[in-house]
Amino acid sequence: MDLTQLRNQIKDSESRWNMKYLAFDKRLREIEQELLLTPYARLSDVIRWCEKLIYYEQKLELMRQSTLTLSQEGWEKLEKKVLESYAEDQRALSILSEYVCFLVNLEDKYDQRFYVFLNFLDNCMRYVRSYSEDLEKNGLSITETISKAKQLGAMHWINGKSYQMKLEV
């Protein structure tokens, strides 16, 4: 295989992966905007926010799974290329080694961005919890929706540890 052709294929692949990451990042930013809860939210705003969080729960899990799948696909394609190139040339291995570094950095970017997003959700959940606790202290009963949202705040994926563990595997 021609090294220029290999280098171009790798750059092309990096470009596609970066575009997928940018789309992922953009979607999380859109969700953050939709889930932004103002400091002086009314009860109806908090209830709508909780309903949105419940709606996004499944989407977030699918997004997390897709990042793991995308990463796995990249590693599988790279492994195939490395095995094909091993017999050919040490320079090709050098190019592929750079691609390994790119994939590792890309996984870190996904992990860091998802961690930032999960911290955002965690902060929102703290606000909603304190709001609902305030309501309870003042004798107002909370709706089932707020209760469900409070339970979501304690779920394992919100703290990001399950995402981190799957990346490390």
Q: 111-142: per-residue pLDDT in tens?
A: 888 888 888 888 888 887 887 777 777 766 66
The dihedral over CA atoms of 104, 58, 34, 149, expressed in degrees to the nearest 10, equals -120
Q: 60-97: per-residue pLDDT in tens?
A: 777 777 777 766 777 777 777 766 666 666 777 777 78
**What CA–CA distances, in Å, run from 130 to 27, 55, 84, 123?**
28, 21, 58, 11
C-alpha–C-alpha distance, residues 82 and 97, integer Å: 9
Band (46; pLDDT cuts 50, 70, 90): confident
Top pLDDT among 25 and 76 is at 25
C-alpha–C-alpha distance, residues 157 and 31, integer Å: 16
On whether the CB atoms of residues 64 and 121 are closer than 8 A, the answer is no
In 3D space, the residue among 146, 133, 122 whose CA is nearest the CA of residue 46 turns out to be 146
* pLDDT for the residue numbered 163: 47
The dihedral over CA atoms of 117, 119, 120, 124, expressed in degrees to the nearest 10, equals 140
